[in-house]
Structure 1
Amino acid sequence: MKAVALTAALLATATTQSFAQTAQTYPDLPIGIKNGVGVMIGNTIYAGLGTAGQKFYALDLSKTERAWVEIAAFPDPARDQAAAAAVNGKLYVFGGNGKSAPDATTAVFNQVHAYDPATNTWSLLPTRAPREIAGGTAVAQGDRILLFGGVNRNIFDGYFKDIAAAGTDKAKSDAVAHAYFTQRPQDYFFGRDVQAYTPATNTWQSLGVVPFTGRAGAAVSLQGNALAIVNGEMKPGLRTAAAHRGTITESGITWRNLPDLISPASGGVQEGVAGAFTGYSGGALLVAGGANFPGSTAKYGAGTLYAHEGLTKTWHSDVYALRGNRWSIVGQLPQVQGYGMSIQNGNEVILVGGELQGGTSSTKVFSLELNGNELKIKD
């Protein structure tokens, strides 16, 4: 991948405001960002959307004094849970969900946008993902981008339209929620396709359908030709502890099950997590943080489909490492968090922003590095 930094031309055209905290290796974000997107191109991290609205920021790690710089704003309506990856020096953003206009209901988007750091400009590409992406993940492999998971557009959009139609009538809105949440995992039709997009030719390719339930908010990492998918939502409010690894070949992907994620450090049932951070360090696959509804697995196992009803969404700080075929807990994050951005930087996994207990957006940026059994956290 060609190294791209913020050039003098970019800085001349970008918003001039910068946000420096030079005492830190990774300065805090200027605003908290959760449910956004982030990638690394060359030595520069790019982050935006989610609670940043249309704003995007860049952090050049090659500089001695590091500062986040506000760059060109995203050109279309703000959105949460989009997917993004970088190929050949450009950032690509897929889908997400939000409002097309202030008075519109929440819906899933299906456009593809590209950002060029060399010119500090965005463009809307003449294409759409064959399977919409909201709550899914994108990873770069060579000159193409692989996309997996996410909600079903028709079901998701329908829920928000019905909620909007119910208005302030609590009985009607409760009935809509009850009908929506009392379905089996497979009845939400979460994405099971692995899609491949090649920007150079603006073409899509199917890499097949996974042999397990669709996921939203799964931790997805790619190393070489090995694609790992860990946990995530099987349906709204219900996670899974399952993990899988696919070997990518020219003819498709061959899947095998990995061991389930082990019990959390606090003990008890591993509910699985959604919105976890992930990446590779020290020869291990790291999965950190995320959120779930403790008690939902037991309720679902007892036959309750609305498994998270009455339960409290809980964020976590455990850092898990998969080495060989065995999970272990190697440390704790400085704070409970999930739904942020994971950036692979050599042997480090940089965590950018996220959501804290209760839903607050985080500004914190720090990295994880595993050396043997020692987890180093650097901010």
Structure 2
Amino acid sequence: MRTMTLLAALLITTAAAQTQTYPDLPAGIKNGVGGMIGDTLYAGLGTAGQKFYALNLLDTAKGWTEMAAFPGAARDQAAAAVVNGKLYVFGGLGKPTPEATTSVFNQVYAYDPASNAWQALNTRAPQDIGGGTAVAQGDRILLFGGVNRNIFNGYFEDIAAAGTDKVRSDAVALAYFSGRPQDYFFGREVQSYTPATNTWQSLGTAPFIGRAGAAVSLQGDALTVVSGEMKPGLRTAQAGRATVKDGGVTWSTLPDLPSAANGAVQEGVAAAFTGSSQGALLVAGGANFPGSTVKFQSGVQYAHQGLTKTWQSDIYALRGDKWSVVGQLPQAQASGISIQRGDEVILVGGELKGGDASSKVFSISLKGDSIEIKD
């Protein structure tokens, strides 16, 4: 009887796996990059190291396949976008060599699925991309946000120099985290990169404090920037939108993210998932430090000191100029990969409560006033 029970359970599990719309990743990936080329999803880097995977959506029963490894140093929080059948990867944070301290990269790589090969391009991003975002607009890529290379690198160099001396390392952290938002020089520039000509262009500067880990989405000519960090450990609920045409951008304001579903103060979120469905902008999940906004507003610059990083599950929708909470993710998570597929937003991997990397892949889409989740 026990053998039959185990066999039945195995058959049920196997049948469920075969009917999955989006099979799990071979391993958890957080702080990675990805994109969709034709009918194939691609994902890698972050906690996957230099590994890179592909999923053919026309034959999902085969699951994810390991593709050519990324040729550069492993990195977190790079930015990526697809143009003309290739995936372009920008910047990121990592160690150039195993012995080096963590630093910001500004190289650009291209992956060509036709040859399953990577190419290091002969260019550098004018502004740093670590913690920034890339979106495709026609034959060019728009990039926004990210940490400042000199300030970020300096912090990790000072921490490395402090070694195991806790008093010294605490002093480094106190000095680093006690600056005002504007003192971190997070990215405010909208950069444009055109692969066909290997050229960069400045399209203009946002009228608000720079961001890292913002939710950035492009719908037609409308580039929307929601939330994100305005300094290490402190998020903002602010949103803004730019009309991107020709050689410039024109900014307009949007309402802040509304209160969380539980009525808590809206701290803003970093590393949320984002995309569009039924013409609405979706922002899902992300992470923050509850209590940091109140401390910051009272004049405390090191606002997240002593607070606990918290992962969120709320899904917000922006329709016109009005936000609403339209649902919840199956579990609180952040720092995953968002890929637009028709009217769905596919969520690939991410970081779960406590920092574990998720291997789950599923999609969210609006159905009327509620969210449909497909896994």
Short-chain TM bin: over 0.9
How do 1:27-176 and structure 2 match up within 5 A? 27-63=23-59, 65-176=61-172
Query: Are residue 282 (structure 1) and residue 278 (structure 2) matched?
Result: yes
Query: Are residue 313 (structure 1) and residue 309 (structure 2) matched?
Result: yes
Q: Residue 175 of structure 2 corresponds to which residue in structure 1?
A: 179
Distance of 2:302 and 2:28 partners within structure 1: 31
State the shift of 1:374 in Å: 2.3
Distance of 1:298 and 1:352 partners within structure 2: 33
Scaled by the length of structure 1, the TM-score of the pair is 0.94
State the shift of 1:23 in Å: 2.7
Work out whether residues 22 and 67 of structure 1, in 8 Å CA contact, stay in contact via their aligned partners in 2.
no
Q: SS of the residue aligned with 2:354? A: coil
Distance of 2:17 and 2:257 partners within structure 1: 36
State the shift of 1:34 in Å: 0.4
Distance of 1:244 and 1:66 partners within structure 2: 41
Distance of 1:28 and 1:107 partners within structure 2: 31
Q: SS of the residue aligned with 1:111? A: strand
Distance of 1:366 and 1:335 partners within structure 2: 12
State the shift of 1:212 in Å: 0.6
Query: Are residue 326 (structure 1) and residue 322 (structure 2) matched?
Result: yes
State the shift of 1:174 in Å: 0.1
Work out whether residues 22 and 60 of structure 2, in 8 Å CA contact, stay in contact via their aligned partners in 1.
no
Distance of 1:23 and 1:107 partners within structure 2: 42
Letter in 1 for 2:134: A
Candidates 296, 299, 304, aligned match of 1:300: 296
RMSD of the alignment, in Å? 1.0
Q: Residue 20 of structure 2 corresponds to which residue in structure 1?
A: 24
Distance of 2:122 and 2:182 partners within structure 1: 32
Work out whether residues 21 and 60 of structure 2, in 8 Å CA contact, stay in contact via their aligned partners in 1.
no
Query: Are residue 194 (structure 1) and residue 190 (structure 2) matched?
Result: yes
Letter in 2 for 1:121: A
State the shift of 1:362 in Å: 0.3
Distance of 1:144 and 1:64 partners within structure 2: 30
1:63-100 CA distances to partner (integer Å, 9 max, x unpaired)? Answer: 26241000000001100000000100001000001011
Scaled by the length of structure 2, the TM-score of the pair is 0.95
Query: Are residue 220 (structure 1) and residue 213 (structure 2) matched?
Result: no
Q: Residue 336 of structure 2 corresponds to which residue in structure 1?
A: 340
Work out whether residues 72 and 120 of structure 1, in 8 Å CA contact, stay in contact via their aligned partners in 2.
yes
- The gaps in structure 1 that reach 5 residues or longer are 1-19
Runs of 4+ in 1 over 2 A off after TM superposition: 20-23
Distance of 1:237 and 1:132 partners within structure 2: 19
State the shift of 1:251 in Å: 4.0
1:21-47 CA distances to partner (integer Å, 9 max, x unpaired)? Answer: 433100001100000001111111110
Q: SS of the residue aligned with 2:172? A: helix
Identity of aligned residues (%): 74
Q: 1:30 and 1:317, CA in 2 relative to 1: closer, same or farther beyond 3 A?
A: same
How many aligned positions are there? 360
Distance of 2:274 and 2:36 partners within structure 1: 15
Q: Residue 250 of structure 1 corresponds to which residue in structure 2?
A: 246
- The gaps in structure 2 that reach 5 residues or longer are 1-15
